[in-house]
Amino acid sequence: MPARPTIAVTRWIPDEAVKVLAEAGEVRLSDLDRPLTPEELRSFVAGASAIVSMLHDRIDASVVEAAGPQLAVVANVAVGYDNVDVPALAAREVTVTNTPGVLTDATADLAFGLLLAVTRRLGEGERLLRARQPWSFHLGFLLGSGLQGKTLGIVGLGQIGRAMATRAAAFGLRTVYSGRSEKPDFDGEFVPFDELLRRSDFVSLHCPLTPETRHLIDAAALRAMKRTAYLVNTTRGPVVDEAALADALAAGEIAGAALDVFEREPEVEPRLLERDDVVVMPHLGSATVETRTAMAVLAARNVTSVLAGEAPLTEVTP
C-alpha cells in the first residue's frame, strides 16, 4: 500500500479542519504555540505533499525546496497572500490557495466597530472606569464625532470594502472609494486616491498589500487628510507607515486612528500605544469561532482537492 501524503500544518487549526485533512493524508501539526522561525519552518515541512500556512509564515522557494519535489499545494489560511511568493511556487508547479469570502462579514464588522470605538472614544471611557477615576456626566464629557451625513472613504473595494460600505449606509454615511478600477455595479462615487483623502471624514483601508500599497498611507497622505479625519486599518499593517502616523497624530494632522494590523506584528509603534486617540486590536478581524473555522475548513478542502487531482476551490494565480 502506498504511503499516505503528509500534510504539514504550521500552527493550530480547528478540529473540523483537521478531520477534513485526515481524510486525505497524515496530518503533521506543529506543537509550538508561536510562529515558526524560517529554519524551523523549513525543517517542519520536509517531506510534505501539502502545507497549510498562516499569514505569518513566509513561504518562498527555500521552503518549497525544503519540502521536496512531492509538494503539491500550499493552502494559506487568509485572504491575503503577501506572505507567499506565488510566482516562485508557480514556477515549481505548486498550487497556492487562499480563503476569500468566508471572513468578509466578520472583518467588516470589526472595521466598523473600530470606527465607532475611535470616533466615540469608547476605549477612553472604559479605561477611565476600570481605573476607578472620578467622573460625572456633563455636556462636554468625552465628546466624540458623529457619523451621520459624513463621508467614508474606502480604499480598495473588494468584498470586505463593499461590506463596510453596506454598514456605513445603515449609519447614514456617504461613501466614496478608490482602487484599481471603477465598479459600475456599486452605488458609491469612484474618486482618485488623493481626492478621497481630501474629502473623507473617515478613511478605511481594504486594499491588499503589494509593492504599490506598502506605505500607501505615508506622511504626505496623512497631511492630505482633514485634521478632523480618522483612519481605520484592518487590511495589512505595512499599508500604513506607523512612524509617520504617530508623527501626524502628535502634530494634530488627523483626529485619530484605529488599527487591527501592524507593520511588524506583533510589535506596535510604541508612540501609538501611548495615545488615547488611537484604538488598537491584536489582529482580530476574522476572530469569530464561525469565521476562523470556515477559513481553516476551506483551506483543508483546497488541500484535499489538489491531492485528489482535482481543481482547488480558491486558487491564487501569479
- The verdict on 136 and 254 lying in the same domain is yes
Q: Which residues pair with 280 in a beta bridge?
A: 259
* The predicted structure's pLDDT at residue 35: 97
- The verdict on 271 and 146 lying in the same domain is yes
* The predicted structure's pLDDT at residue 2: 63
Res. 291: pLDDT tops 60: yes
What CATH code is carried by the domain that includes residue 56? 3.40.50.720
Collapsing DSSP to helix, strand or coil, 129 comes out as helix
- The verdict on 57 and 72 lying in the same domain is yes
- The verdict on 204 and 163 lying in the same domain is yes
Q: What is the pLDDT of residues 203-257, one digit of tens each?
A: 999 999 999 999 999 999 999 999 999 999 999 999 999 999 999 999 999 999 9
- The verdict on 261 and 310 lying in the same domain is no
Q: What is the pLDDT of residues 133-181, one digit of tens each?
A: 999 999 999 999 999 999 999 999 999 999 999 999 999 999 999 999 9
Q: 294 to each of 16, 291, 311, how far by Cα in Å?
A: 9, 5, 19
Would you say residue 1 lies in a domain? no
- The verdict on 73 and 111 lying in the same domain is no
- The verdict on 148 and 274 lying in the same domain is yes
Q: What is the pLDDT of residues 184-214, one digit of tens each?
A: 999 999 999 999 999 999 999 999 999 999 9
Instruction: Look up the domain containing 241 and give its range.
Output: 104-280
- The verdict on 137 and 276 lying in the same domain is yes
* DSSP state letter for 282: S
Would you say residue 27 lies in a domain? yes
Q: 310 to each of 126, 137, 302, how far by Cα in Å?
A: 51, 63, 9
- The verdict on 45 and 193 lying in the same domain is no
Task: For the chain, give the percent of residues with pLDDT over 90.
Answer: 99
Q: What is the pLDDT of residues 26-68, one digit of tens each?
A: 999 999 999 999 999 999 999 999 999 999 999 999 999 999 9
Would you say residue 162 lies in a domain? yes
> For the chain, what is the domain count?
2
* The predicted structure's pLDDT at residue 3: 84
Would you say 225 and 193 are in contact if contact means Cβ atoms under 8 Å apart?
no
Starting at the earlier edge strand, list the strands of the sheet with 174-178.
189-190, 174-178, 151-155, 202-205, 230-233, 256-259, 278-280
Res. 91: pLDDT tops 90: yes
Q: What are phi and psi of 8, to 5 degrees?
A: -90, 120
Which residue do the cell numbers 479542519 mark? 17
Q: Which residues pair with 89 in a beta bridge?
A: none
Which one is predicted more confidently, 2 or 285?
285
d(CA 196, CA 42): 43
Starting at the earlier edge strand, list the strands of the sheet with 6-9.
26-29, 6-9, 50-53, 73-76, 95-97, 315-316
* The predicted structure's pLDDT at residue 1: 45
- The verdict on 260 and 134 lying in the same domain is yes
Q: How many helices (H) and strands (E) does the chain have?
A: 12, 13
Collapsing DSSP to helix, strand or coil, 67 comes out as helix
- The verdict on 155 and 220 lying in the same domain is yes
* Catalytic machinery residues: 236, 265, 283
Q: How many CB atoms lie within 10 A of CB 231?
A: 29
- The verdict on 141 and 227 lying in the same domain is yes
Would you say residue 60 lies in a domain? yes
All three cell numbers of 61, joined, read: 522557494
Nearest to residue 53, comparing CAs of 24, 25, 82, 15? 82
